[in-house]
Structure 1
Amino acid sequence: MPSDAFPSPSTPASAPAGGGCDVLIIGGGPAGSTAAALLAAGGRHVVMLEKARHPRFHIGESLLPQNLRIFEKLGVAEAVRAIGVFKPGASFVSDEHGNKISFSFADGLNKTYTHSYQVHRAELDELLFRNAAAKGAEAHEDMLVTEVALGGARGSRVVARDAAGREHAWQARFVIDASGRDTVLAKQQGGKQRDAHTNTAAIYGHFRGVAPCEECPEGNITIHLLDDGWCWTIPLPEGITSVGVVGTPEFFKRRSGSFEEFLRESLEASPSVRARMREAELASAVTTTGNYSYRAQRMRGEGWLMVGDAFAFLDPVFSSGVMLAMASAELGAEAVDAWLDDPARAAPLLEAFERKVHRAIGSMSWLIYRINRPVLRDMFMQPSNRFRMRDGLVSLLAGDVHANTSRQLPVLAFKAVYGMLSLAHRLGYRLRGGKLQRVVPGLPAMAAE
């Protein structure tokens, strides 16, 4: 991102900080910066505290079409386009099925946004952070929140420590927790729970020289379905490809060497991935992230709420993280703005905020919880558009989680067919070539009568 795309925050690191504000936002990632920009643009006194200094590395580099609407609202659509790789859709590759399938966002039910971008998150996050400052938010970096004393309608006290070790305190009328995986309020309240449906971890790095996916549209994210999880390859600017493997704890217990060796061994185990990594060279450190999926018990209370990963984080197989974070921040900012004027009038907006966030997470979770199951993999690799099921699936992959009823029907049809195929699977049948075949262990598949 050009250094002059947005001005740096006006408050230098050496200046004193603290005092009163309308809204204090913990975290300066996509969720925090979205909420800060929207509220500050509306005339609210917003303080945003980011523990690190931009640019800083972050995973989650593949965006969804529904991000574009929010970028436009924030006034950064062109700036994001300038730093991104055009992403027309997503491709899935399965060694078990021996084929690959690509989904174009243009085939979805929502025709308003039909593409997205792959970006270096360090550049995107800094762009959004600087934009919030340009909109009037008081944006602080190197400011680690150490204490939050929630006070409801009386306001809350937030204490943070800067890079020099000095403490600063704010009295905020409302607190938004956008602290991401730090989950500041959830940890404080003891309400953070690991998702019982998916317990995965990831190992990843940046590479040069990764071969493109043959017969896959240029710019697509590619998901390779593995025996013990899945692998992502995301094309980024300047010839970099983000490559990572997500698996279960049992999968990671097999590691005997270094993380780099384990990542390479994991990639080598898949024929389709191995073919693409022959000439690849590591261009970054290898990073691991554990306890991938979680959710807090509560997402809001009197004078506070959580947005983005501060409330919940899902397995990233469908690249929903940034979109869900920014969408929840947008909804949350609208409700908080109303609350500052009249808490009673804001009650319906806060209820709608919570309902819509839960619904969005639920829509993506349904697919995520089943991605390693044979039936869903069969349906992905042999998609049918009967009842417009494929089009509905594409809309979900595009992040259209707030679709109206007409766009929900194809998704409901997809789920109904999944249920029927799951029953058939328990009876020994699999979907092969668009038809059910009886599968006898140890013997070739036989056509079902």
Structure 2
Amino acid sequence: MNNIAPEIMPIPKEPALTQCDVLVVGGGPAGSTCAALLAKKGFDVIMLEKEEHPRFHIGESLLPANMPLLERLGVAEEIKKIGLLKLGIEFNSPEHEHVSLIEFSDSWNKDLSWAYQVRRSEFDEILFRNAAKNGVHTIEKCRVRDVQIDDKNIAPVHVYAEMETGQAITFEAKFIVDASGRDTFLANKYKTKQKDKKHSSSAIFGHFHQATRLPGDKEGYISIFWFEHGWFWFIPLADGTTSVGAVCWPYYLHSRKKPLDDFLWDTISLSPQLAERMKHAKLVSETHATGNYSYSSTISHGKQFIMIGDAYAFVDPVFSSGVMLAMNSAFKGAEVVETVLKEPTEIPSKLKEFQEVIKHGPKEFSWFIHRVTNPMIRELFMYPKTILKTKASVLSVLSGDIFENPKIWPSLYAFKFIYYLSSVINLKRSWVAMKRRAHNIRDVDNTVQ
């Protein structure tokens, strides 16, 4: 590994053609990971980032399954310096007097028993600079405007970008990796982006000082608080800041009639348990609101491109899966690119493997996400069952251990059976929750239309 960072590629004063083996669109966790891996393999890689690091991003809670990926990428020690140790999850329900504290060490794989809470501006910059250290030509403040891909004749890909100054620049690459995140660059171009019809939500969030955390080694737990319109996250960071946000049905966010700061505080007051933890807290950041609509692309690749991370799919952040799924897809995506450029006879099998992996993650997390506001799921999280090792299997999912651990599936199926059985036993309660969910989704559809 070359520890000497290469010089940033100079931008020509006039529009010019810049060639490379691989062009990566987007410098977040997915793009930076994939670019670094490809550069290590000897490919000439250019990575374009529309903003400049460090830049704000939400999604501060990592999963234990992130840790081996960070080790393989060579940045584990740097992340340790900025992270707060995360050993478990706290669940709070307005219908229960107790709290449910679950530790990752109770999952199947004892090696995946911890993770970090991180400030994403720092985390993303570490990964981005690491890509540069490994030979990637990084260009910031450069937005991709268009691309020409000729899958029939396998001509070089031409990418047209624009610097923040308005200066045009053209790239010619053998392959393009779309890691553009929620900009979904290629999915928008090919019109393959589809929203998740079973789930839709919005989010409002900010950073706070002096929020009351859990004591001792539980300080780094992520806390989840259910409330009438959705759920809250409470994520403590190493510098004393706490990220607090509400993920709610869009109709609730649309009901806002006051400034975002006031609306966020009003929303926090709807959860007495969270409000108690926030009674001494002070908002120290801008309040952000976003349409947090889940989606996926109907395609994940072509002969000269792949989509990784949120450029392919985005799911609700309730289980903090985003960074892990992004980085995991980047590792698998790097294998695809290497195969395409070096071993073309192996392309079909490698693309099939890539497709299975990139679909598997969102699918497994979505089963829980679609039901997270259901009272039966709430009961099962507030009273986790050890029968048939269902608790261990659910914790394995929440740890992100869903790709290479066949042990979890029988017990996970047992958990789902218990959920469905409980729903039947409590049919009236389940029916009311299902009707409310369907009504909320219809309201979203009507709003969008």
1-side partners of 2:296 and 2:109: how far apart? 29
1-side partners of 2:371 and 2:423: how far apart? 11
Which of 1, 8, 11 does residue 10 from structure 1 map onto?
A: 8
2-side partners of 1:146 and 1:429: how far apart? 47
2-side partners of 1:415 and 1:403: how far apart? 20
| Aligned counterpart, 1:137 | 136
1-side partners of 2:53 and 2:74: how far apart? 20
Task: Please state if 1:243 is matched with 2:244.
Answer: yes
2-side partners of 1:72 and 1:428: how far apart? 46
Cα 1:234–1:14 shift into 2, 3 Å: farther
Secondary structure of the structure 2 residue equivalent to 1:36? helix
Measured after TM superposition, the shift of residue 294 of structure 1 is: 1.1
| Aligned counterpart, 1:394 | 395
Secondary structure of the structure 2 residue equivalent to 1:237? coil
2-side partners of 1:13 and 1:95: how far apart? 56
| Aligned counterpart, 1:258 | 259
Matches within 5 A, 1:202-281: 202-213=203-214, 217-281=218-282
1-side partners of 2:429 and 2:117: how far apart? 40
2:8–2:139 CA contact under 8 A, matched in 1:
no
| Aligned counterpart, 2:119 | 120
TM-score of the two chains, using structure 2 as the length reference = 0.91
Matches within 5 A, 1:211-360: 211-213=212-214, 217-360=218-361
CA RMSD of aligned residues (A): 1.8
Q: Which residue identity is paired with 2:278?
A: M
Cα 1:157–1:429 shift into 2, 3 Å: closer
1-side partners of 2:47 and 2:177: how far apart? 9
Measured after TM superposition, the shift of residue 361 of structure 1 is: 1.2
Cα 1:13–1:81 shift into 2, 3 Å: farther
Measured after TM superposition, the shift of residue 8 of structure 1 is: 7.5
Q: Which residue identity is paired with 2:123?
A: L
1:6–1:131 CA contact under 8 A, matched in 2:
no
Cα 1:71–1:304 shift into 2, 3 Å: same
1-side partners of 2:424 and 2:11: how far apart? 61
Secondary structure of the structure 2 residue equivalent to 1:202? strand
Report percent identity of matched pairs: 41
| Aligned counterpart, 1:378 | 379
Q: Which residue identity is paired with 2:9?
A: T
1-side partners of 2:172 and 2:5: how far apart? 27
Measured after TM superposition, the shift of residue 18 of structure 1 is: 4.4
2-side partners of 1:333 and 1:114: how far apart? 27
1:9–1:134 CA contact under 8 A, matched in 2:
no
Per-residue CA deviation, residues 282-302 of structure 1 (Å, 9 max, x unaligned), is 110000110431111111111
Q: Which residue identity is paired with 1:11?
A: M
2-side partners of 1:429 and 1:314: how far apart? 23
Measured after TM superposition, the shift of residue 427 of structure 1 is: 5.3
2-side partners of 1:322 and 1:428: how far apart? 35
Measured after TM superposition, the shift of residue 10 of structure 1 is: 2.7
Secondary structure of the structure 2 residue equivalent to 1:239? coil
Task: Please state if 1:96 is matched with 2:95.
Answer: yes
2-side partners of 1:95 and 1:227: how far apart? 9
Q: Which residue identity is paired with 2:229?
A: D
2:222–2:233 CA contact under 8 A, matched in 1:
yes
2:30–2:330 CA contact under 8 A, matched in 1:
yes
2:5–2:134 CA contact under 8 A, matched in 1:
no
Measured after TM superposition, the shift of residue 344 of structure 1 is: 3.0
Secondary structure of the structure 1 residue equivalent to 2:353? helix
Instruction: Give runs of ≥4 in structure 1 deviating > 6 Å.
Output: 14-17
2-side partners of 1:418 and 1:340: how far apart? 46
1-side partners of 2:215 and 2:380: how far apart? 21
Measured after TM superposition, the shift of residue 403 of structure 1 is: 3.6
Cα 1:252–1:304 shift into 2, 3 Å: same
2-side partners of 1:163 and 1:13: how far apart? 12
1:102–1:216 CA contact under 8 A, matched in 2:
no
Q: Which residue identity is paired with 2:311?
A: A
Structure 2: which 5+ runs fail to align? 432-449
1:90–1:222 CA contact under 8 A, matched in 2:
yes
Secondary structure of the structure 2 residue equivalent to 1:285? coil
TM-score of the two chains, using structure 1 as the length reference = 0.91
Q: Which residue identity is paired with 1:228?
A: H
Measured after TM superposition, the shift of residue 214 of structure 1 is: 6.4
Measured after TM superposition, the shift of residue 132 of structure 1 is: 0.5
Q: Which residue identity is paired with 1:110?
A: N
| Aligned counterpart, 1:155 | 156
Q: Which residue identity is paired with 1:144?
A: R
Measured after TM superposition, the shift of residue 95 of structure 1 is: 1.5
Measured after TM superposition, the shift of residue 340 of structure 1 is: 0.6
Secondary structure of the structure 2 residue equivalent to 1:159? strand
Measured after TM superposition, the shift of residue 15 of structure 1 is: 7.3
Secondary structure of the structure 2 residue equivalent to 1:329? helix
